Every structure is written in C-alpha cells, then in structure tokens.
Amino acid sequence: MNEQATLKSKEDMTQDDIRNFEIRDYLRLDLFPHFMCPGCGHGIALRALLWAIHAQGIDKDKLAIVSGIGCSGRVGTYIDANTYHTTHGRPLAFATGLKMARPDLHVVVITGDGDCLAIGGNHLIHAARRNLDITCLMLNNEIYGMTGGQVSPTTPADRFTTTTPAGNMEPVFDACRLAEAAGAGYVGREVTIHLPRLRDIIAEGLAYKGFSFIEVMSDCTEVNGRKNDLGSSPEMVLGQTRAMRPSEYDNNVVDHPFRPNSMNTGVLVRSNRPEYGTSYRNMVDKVQALQQKGQK
Amino acid sequence: MTKINKVMKATTQPAVRTAVEKLNPDTAKEPINVLIVGVGGQGVIMVSKVLAQICQNLGYQVKQSEVHGMAKRGGVVFSHVRFGQNVWSPTIPMGKADVLIALEWAEGLRWMNYLRPDTGIFIADTKRIVPPFACRSRILGADIGYSKNTPSDVREKVAEAFAIDATEMATKAGNERAANTLLLGALSTTLSFPDDEWKNVIGKMVPPKTIEVNLAVFDKGQVWINRSRKGEPVEGGAFVPLVQPEINSVRTELSITPEWCKGCDICVKMCPERCLVLNKDQVAELAEPEKCTGCHICEWLCPDFAISLKPIHQEAVA
Amino acid sequence: MTVQQNVAQATPTINLPTINLQGNHACALGAVAAGCRFYAGYPITPSSEVAERLAKELPKVGGVFLQMEDEIASIAATLGASMGGVKAMTATSGPGFSLKQENLGYGMKAEIPCVVVNVMRGGPSTGMPTRPAQGDLMQARWGTHGDHPVVALTPGSVEEIYQQTARAFALSEKLRIPVIVLFDESLGHLEETITLPDVTEYENTIRKWATGKPEDYKPYKADADGVPPMARPGDGYRVHTTGLIVAEGGFPTQKADVVAPVMKRLLDKIEINNDLVESFEDIDCQDAEVVVVALGIVGRSAKKAVRELRQQGIKAGLFRPITLWPFPTKSFRALTKKAKYFVVAEMNAGQLILEIGAAKVDKQSVSGLNRYDGEPISPSLIKQAVKEVLGHE
C-alpha cells in the first residue's frame, strides 16, 4: 500500500478549496436529524472537521473515521466515509493498527474527554509518542454526557455533576500539554464559536505528517449547562471566548489547575519529529534489501 | 470635499506647467514646504527623514514634524518637512505646501487643500488602501465609502498633478516596499538638490539588502516625472477605478430544514442582523429575509446542520 | 472419516523443511505462512517468543510488527489492521487474555477476522507465569460479555501449532470472526523436530470482499453461508462498523423484530459452517468402554495412556478436540455411543468436564482428572484414573 498523498499547507489552500463547501455532500443524510441534544457543540465541531476535509480535498473513500464511545463516539456515524465506532477509550489503538496496515488512508480519530483522557489516556500518550500520522480530534465537553453527566478528567473545579453533587474537587488535565509532553508533533486547541479558525487548525493538522492532536472546546448544553446554570445554548457559545485566551503557547504562564478555562487557543505545537510509519517502512526496506543480498 | 472645491475655484493656473523651475532654498524668500502623507506602514516617515537629512547635509535649517501616534498599520500618517535659510514654525499652514507627496490615493485627496493654490505640486501614488470603516454595510455588494475621484478630477484643482502607480512599479522592480523611494525620485525633480546627495542619503537609510532596488526605483521616479512633463508616454500611470461588485449581483439564499432543527436558539441569538426567529413550534425561521447579509454565522454555528446558505445569481432570481 | 480434519495424517509435501522448532516460534511461522502481515502485541510470559519471532519475520515479508502500550491496545490495533484488509494477529497469556476480552467481543460482534493466541499459564490472577495450565478454556468460550459466537482451536503438538495457527487464519477469514488459538506453556516452550506442514490452502483463504454497486451493498446482509462480504476501506463502499447491534444496513437499531434475526444469524453462523470448523482426533473411540477426553499437552499423555491400556486389554479410547469451541458435540456423541465411562483429563479444576457432561447422551459416568499445581498430567496418572473408574486396581 502506498502512503497517502501529501496534503496542502495553510498557504497552498486556495479560497476555492475553502469555499464551495456543501456539508451535505459529506453526511449520511438518511440518519438525520442526528441524535445529539439541542445546542450540542459536537455538531459545530463536526462541521469544522468536514470543512477541513473538504478544504484539503480528501477523498471520502480514502477517509477513515475512528471513534470511541460516548457522545463524541457517535459523531463519526454521520460522516459519509469509512467509519469505525470502536470500544470505549480505544479508538487511537484501533487507528494505529489501521494506519500501519493501510498507510494510504487518512485516519482521523474523533474522541472525547472521557474517552481520550480517562479510559484511553494511555493510548493518547503512546500515540503521541509514536507520532504516527493520525489526526486526533478530542471533543472536550467537560463531562460524560451520554451516561447522564458524570465528572470527567476535564470538569472544572466546583462544577456540579451527578457524581460530584457537592461540586468537583479533582484537578483537571490540560490535554494539549499532555499531548505535547508525550511528543505529539502538532497540537492545537480552539473553541467551536471560532469555526473558521477551528477549521484551519484541523486542516493544518490533517496535512501534518505525524500525530496531530486538536482539542475542541465544545458545549454540553443539556447536561453540563443545565446542571451548572451556564445559561442557554447561545449564552454558552458566547461564553466560550470569555473563558479562553487566544494566544500562542506561553510556557511561562502559571498553571491554574483550578481555573482550567483560562486556557490558550491556537496552534500550540508544530514540531519536526520523524513520523513512525515512514520510519517503520524504511526499516522494512532495509531488512528486505539485506535479505536479498543474503540470498544472492 | 467642500474645502477642496474652494481651492479649485481659486486656482487659475493651467493643469500642466510647461517650464519648470526647481524649488531652491537659496533663492526662496520663505521656507520650502513639503507635506508627505499616507497610511501606517507605507514609509511616510522614511521619506520625510531622507528629505530632512539631505537638507541638513546641505546646511539648511530644517524642521520635520509628524503624526503617527494613533495610526498603527493602516491608519493616517502625515509628516511636515520645512527647510530654508530660516525656519521658525514646524508645521505648514494650510495652502502653503509647495509639494504634496501622497503614498495613498485618498490621503492625497484629503490633504490637497494644504497645497499652494497657484504653484503647488501634487505627487500621489494611485495605490488605494480601503479602510475597514469604509465598508461598514454588511449587505453583499454594498457601496464602499472610498473616494471615487480620479486623477483627471485632481488636475483641475492643483497647479501640477502627477498620479503614479508607484507601488505597481516598485513591485515590478522587485520590492513593493520601495514605492516610497520611487516617490522620492519624483520629489527630487522638484527640488534643486544634487542627485548624488539623494542617493547617498537613501543608501544609508534603507536596509542594506535593498539598496540596489531602492536606487533603481529612485531613478524610475525621476524619469517618470521628467518624461511626463515633456508629454512623453509613461508606464504606470494608469488609474483603474476601484472594482466594486455590482450591487446585488450575487446574493445568498438561506434555507432551513425544519425537521433537523432542534430549536437551540443559537442562530437566532447569534445573527448580527437579528433576522431569524424561533416560530411557535420552536423551529428557526427566517423572519426578515431582506435583512440577511449572507454572513454564514447561523449556518456555521448550527449544531444540527439545519441551515444552509447558497449563493444565487440575480438571473436565477429573475 | 468425514469430520476429522487433516491433522494427524498431514502428509508432508516434498521440499517442506524439517527443522527444530519451539511451539511459540511455530505459532509465529504458521501465522506468516498463512499470510499474516500484521502483529500487535505486548510482552507477557509465556507467549513473548511469538512476538519476538514475528518482530524478526514480519519485516522480511513487508508486514507490520507493533509492540503496543498494553494488551487492550494490542487487540484493538489488530482489529484495526484487519478492518484495513490485512490478516492480523495478536498473542498473549492469561492476564492479557482477560484484558482483551472486551475488544474480542467487539471483533465477534462487528465480525472482524483476526487471530488471538493465548498461551495458557497457571492462574488465577498473575498465578504461575512460567508453569503450564489449561485454565482458560471456559474463558475462551464465555470471556466476553453477552451472547457471542466463538471459534477456539487447541493444538496438541508443535507441528499442530504451526498448522492450527495457519488454519485459524483461514477460519477467521472465511467466517469473519476472531479465532482463538489456545495452547499451554509447556507446548509453547516445547522444542520438537517437525516437518513444516503445507498450509498453502490456508494462505489462499481470504475473506469475501464486497463486489457490485456500493449503493446496493449492505454490510451485514449475509450470504447463504451466514457470512456477509466485507467492505474494504478505499473501495468506495464507505460503511459503518460499530459494536452496537445493527440492522443489515450497518446502522444501529433497537427494534426487537430487527435485532432478533440479526443476532440469530450472528450466533448461528459457526453452526452453519460446522463441517469447516469441526476438528478433533479420535483414537479407538468407536468401541471404547472408557473414553478419555483431553486436549493440548494432556492429549499427548492420554494418547500414550490409551495405547498402553489397549495393550493391557482395556477398551480405552481418546477423544481429543482440536476445535474446542464450538465443541464437536455431534461427532463426539456419534463416536462414543458404546462408551460407559468418560475420563476428562485437564490441567484445571474442571472446565472441559462441564461440556462433556452436557454433550453425553446416555447416563455415562463422567469423572475428572484434574491438576492445577503447574505440573502436566502424566500418562501413568491417566492410566490410573481409567483403571479406577473401571474398578480395576
């Protein structure tokens, strides 16, 4: 299997690539309306992903969407592509096998905060360490929505959830820093309200040769929002920018484990680490060359 | 605009002077006034500094005062340069500028009333930088509030006027940012200073890597003015009117798939024009289509993919 | 012999090399010979040699070897690779097998071919990592939650490990199911001189790929053999794969009238293909008064025991399932009509005996010979047990 074609860099993407986007070309229309709650940010995130895929001109047949369990896991179902809804926490491991076996596919993982950081945390750090060419989209709604609103590794301090009836006391993960520390070659974070920016960050991540991790700050309006009086859906969407500091990654920023919403957005890491699949295939070529020599 | 009209009426000079006398501070009774205007980032200050430096080198008194504080990139920048045997005041009174150098077209028009009505020389780049507040209407194809005056309009209002597409010429020569040096070349034709002095100062002022291209465009500027004064054909003087989309030539059509809408209210609250509402079934509806500007915000933020905006062409509507 | 698979009588083809080989290495080589081009695993005693050998062999044939971050990731990656269209395998041992159960169930539900090798060691928990046992027989059947189809093979020699691993690939491809290969530590670390059997037939067995128009294709609409053709990513079918119960179209459903036939087809697909799946070895079962039932390394002891008992005039027979799950019940019944006693020898506290108790037709006595101290069961112990049930001294 050949490796996938190189995608466009941010500069190469023309206005035509970005315009002429008809989202319904990328959806399984028979399944609509989708099952997500009114105002759920995952729908906006899905638009950003599909738009980025469109801007990059990726063939739907060559697109593999791997997702786990939870609200985020169901998002992939609606994409008209090769979609794999796998087990809880394991989409990155599935994707690793799929990408190694089929380097010609564009493998995109859609996962959630619980799926990716709690049950699947180990797979995240090791996928980042390997730096295999996978794009991982973590939809962070700061709660376990599908199971009725339990505390997650990204639930901010003092939030009420069904399992923290007196408010959350556990510190949270900064997923982007985690991915960066584990070695992810491309790391970005954006809120859903900045859709064009989110699209561009995802598009760059798709083109990045290596493990790209993108955290999408999404809203859980029905479960998280209601329980914590975060306002109506539009109010929550508008509140996203209030909580975020859009800036470049500043490593000198003091860590605020109990004020997790004051997080940076934008492209946080762009590095030049070797991509694992390419390294592996180079090794295979060497082994096979040596073997042929031996046979002669 | 009213002031400019007044100046125009006051002048009786022909549009193009045939015999040209260079401005010479040695013989002038009053200080020579050069006003340089443009927008932030174009190099207005650099032009005035070069001029001031030459005056200083040649032993004249020179005063330069500039305003660029509020400008940032893209805002208004102007610089007054006065030089001669004795200069007292740092700023040029209205109607007393001998030469007006404009690095941006509309800025040139705005400062025209500073020129001496009878002898003032107007040299402007036809480069147009449309400020954001000139296109405040969000309706597609809305009029842009930018000056529609052309060089021929200006010619009637000042003693001598040159409209050079300096940016385009500098770009062709290899560096877009050298447009201001090209205008220096143009300016040099109006003053009595020796060419060597100009080139000497420019060579010291510009970044070392760009000396060559700057000197080349300086010559181009000189040649351009000299040739056009003789009535010879010149390149780079073409003035193309601002291209504005024909009003309402392209519009967008907003459609809502009601079965997909879950009534989350995001589109209604986020629409800048407030043209969407939730109907009695809690489904989004376009209540005031004429207000819709096709900005896509509702489409982008709809989590249910229920809203879609498509461009439609006027013919298709008719 | 219609049902007995070509196991014991495998005729060595010319040019097939005779070599000294360890059981775990035989497993690795058998996999490569069957066309396995992907392995993901995690180090665990006593199966690590499978991974080590494949790390060496797979690059030579252009395959992928991955050492994953944990056991769960290993099977997940294996299933992922298989979904991409490659024959894939993972190997583990007891604790790792426990960890893999959820994803094993995913593979069974989503019908993803692959091979999972479990080199059994003493349990429970960490148990005795370097000692043999047969304690995972029931885990192989019922390890993952919910009703599910299972195919598990239990080879009894190094040569059989090679062959059955290869066959496991063929079965998994043919039936679209993860196939489990179970053998114990003593076989895994046993080194024997063997002639590598010809497994070209297994190598050539490849899953049914979807053909025809994508718009007509239904990912879970089965053919007559109960197995739906699979869609390969990149071929234009763009299907959905999920662990949820789905209708034929591939999308989740909870309607009882849709779920019932879907589940029935899934659970029955092995039964439909029983001729293909069933395999066992019988030695003198037809006229045996006592039938010893044993598998894996114990089967070898039992073979010797039965041979010696016959020499002593005792009508003993051996039934050794090679396909453990589904248990070859019909053939077992047919072959043991004359049996009065069953002796089930196994290196656990009694797992296979439950199946024999369910499989027998008459009121034969079933007694177990169990050992779970990390030592194999010797022929003399089996002989003794047989004599005991017969009332001999």
Number of domains in chain B: 2
CA dihedral A211, A214, A220, A225 (to 10 degrees): 130
Of residues A157 and A109, more confidently modeled: A109
Q: Pull the structure tokens for residue C41.
A: 């695993």
Cα separation of the two ends of chain B? 39
Q: Is the pLDDT of residue B247 over 70?
A: no
Q: Are C71 and C92 in contact (CB under 8 A)?
A: yes
The percent of residues in chain C predicted with pLDDT above 70, rounded, is 96
Q: What confidence score (pLDDT) does residue B9 get?
A: 35
Residues near A110 by beta carbon (within 8 Å), at least 6 away in sequence: A49, A65, A66, A67, A72, A73, A75, A76, A91, A137, A139
Query: Checking DSSP bridges between strand A135-140 and strand A212-217, what pairing results, if any?
Result: parallel
Cβ of B303 within 8 Å of Cβ of A43? The answer is yes
Closest Cβ opposite residue A287 in set C60, C106, C238: C60
Residue B186 maps to which CATH number?
Answer: 3.40.920.10
Q: Is the pLDDT of residue B235 over 80?
A: no
Spatial distance between the Cα atoms of C126 and C148, rounded to a whole number of angstroms: 27
Output the CA angle C202-C174-A77, nearest 5 degrees.
135
Cis ω for the linkage preceding C197 (within 30 of 0) = no
Of residues B68 and C235, more confidently modeled: C235
Are there at least 3 beta-carbon pairs closer than 8 Å between C and A?
Answer: yes
How far A134 CA sits from the closest chain C CA (Å)? Answer: 13
* Among the listed residues C128, C57, C121, C133, the one whose alpha carbon sits nearest the alpha carbon of residue C89: C57
Cβ of C234 within 8 Å of Cβ of A104? The answer is yes
Residue numbers of the domain that contains B184: 3-229
The pLDDT tens digits for C322-343 are 999 999 999 999 999 989 999 9
Q: Kindly state whether residues B303 and B192 are assigned to the same domain.
A: no
The CATH number that domain A13-295 falls under is: 3.40.50.970
Eight-state DSSP code of residue C246: B
User: Mapping DSSP to helix (H, G, I), strand (E, B) and coil, where does residue C340 land?
Assistant: coil
Q: What confidence score (pLDDT) does residue B8 get?
A: 36
* Interval A261-268 mean pLDDT: 76
Q: Are C322 and C281 in contact (CB under 8 A)?
A: yes
Q: What confidence score (pLDDT) does residue C15 get?
A: 62
Interface check for A233 against chain B (CB to CB < 8 A): the answer is yes
Q: Among the listed ranges A248-257, B108-117, B208-217, which one has the minimum average pLDDT value?
A: A248-257
Query: Checking DSSP bridges between strand C316-321 and strand C290-293, what pairing results, if any?
Result: parallel
How far B130 CA sits from the closest chain A CA (Å)? Answer: 21
The pLDDT tens digits for C256-301 are 999 999 999 999 999 999 999 999 999 999 999 999 999 999 999 9
Cβ of A38 within 8 Å of Cβ of B263? The answer is yes
Domain boundary among B229, B260, B290: B229
The pLDDT tens digits for C361-382 are 888 899 999 999 999 999 999 9
Average pLDDT, chain C: 92
CATH C-level class of C279-390: alpha beta
- Residues on chain A touching C231 (C-beta within 8 angstroms): 82
Output the CA angle B43-B45-B47, nearest 5 degrees.
70
Q: Kindly state whether residues B126 and B19 are assigned to the same domain.
A: yes
Q: Is residue B145 part of a domain?
A: yes
> SS3 sequence, chain B?
CHHHHHHHHHCCCCCCCCCCCCECCCCCCCCEEEEEEEECCCCHHHHHHHHHHHHHHCCCEEEEEEECCCCCCCCEEEEEEEEECCCCCCCCCCCCECEEEECCHHHHHHCHHHECCCCCEEEEECCCCCCHHHHCCCCCCCCCCCCCCCHHHHHCCCCEEEEECHHHHHHHHCCHHHHHHHHHHHHHCCECCCHHHHHHHHHHHCCHHHHHHHHHHHHHHHHHHHHHHCCCCCCCCCCCCCCCCCCCCEEEEEEECHHHCCCCCHHHHHCCCCCEEECCCCCEEECCHHHCCCCCHHHHHCCCCCEEEEEEEHHHHC
- Residues on chain B touching A37 (C-beta within 8 angstroms): 262
- Residues on chain B touching A80 (C-beta within 8 angstroms): none
pTM above 0.80, yes or no: no
Q: Is the pLDDT of residue A125 over 90?
A: yes
Of residues B230 and A205, more confidently modeled: A205
Q: State which residue of chain A sits closest to C84, comparing Cα positions.
A: A98
Q: Among the listed ranges A148-157, B129-138, B280-289, C329-338, which one has the minimum average pLDDT value?
A: B129-138
Q: State which residue of chain B sits closest to A218, comparing Cα positions.
A: B303
Q: Are C163 and C330 in contact (CB under 8 A)?
A: no
The interface pTM score, or ipTM, of the predicted complex is 0.92
CATH superfamily of C6-203: Thiamin diphosphate (ThDP)-binding fold, Pyr/PP domains (3.40.50.970)
Helices (H), A104-150: 113, 121-130
* Among the listed residues A257, A132, A139, A121, the one whose alpha carbon sits nearest the alpha carbon of residue A183: A132
User: Mapping DSSP to helix (H, G, I), strand (E, B) and coil, where does residue A284 land?
Assistant: helix
The pLDDT tens digits for B2-47 are 333 333 333 333 344 444 578 888 888 889 999 999 988 888 889 9
Interface check for C144 against chain A (CB to CB < 8 A): the answer is no
Hey, where are the domains in chain C? 6-203, 214-275, 279-390
Q: Is residue B300 part of a domain?
A: yes
Q: Kindly state whether residues B172 and B269 are assigned to the same domain.
A: no
What is the crossing angle of helices B211-229 and B195-205, to 10°?
140
Of residues B238 and B266, more confidently modeled: B266
The pLDDT tens digits for A44-87 are 999 999 999 999 999 999 999 999 999 999 999 999 999 999 99
Output the CA angle C105-C107-C112, nearest 5 degrees.
160
Q: Is residue B301 part of a domain?
A: yes
* Interval A118-125 mean pLDDT: 95
User: Mapping DSSP to helix (H, G, I), strand (E, B) and coil, where does residue C182 land?
Assistant: strand
Residues near C46 by beta carbon (within 8 Å), at least 6 away in sequence: C24, C93, C119, C121, C129, C130, C185, C188, C189
pLDDT band at C14 (very low <50, low <70, confident <90, very high): low
Q: Are B101 and B36 in contact (CB under 8 A)?
A: yes
* Interval A87-112 mean pLDDT: 96
Closest Cβ opposite residue C76 in set A28, A94, A287: A94
Q: Pull the structure tokens for residue A206.
A: 């798709």
Q: Are A288 and C60 in contact (CB under 8 A)?
A: yes
Interface check for C333 against chain A (CB to CB < 8 A): the answer is no
Closest Cβ opposite residue A233 in set B259, B265, B306: B265
Hey, where are the domains in chain A? 13-295
Cis ω for the linkage preceding B233 (within 30 of 0) = no
* Interval B51-80 mean pLDDT: 83
Spatial distance between the Cα atoms of B298 and B288, rounded to a whole number of angstroms: 14
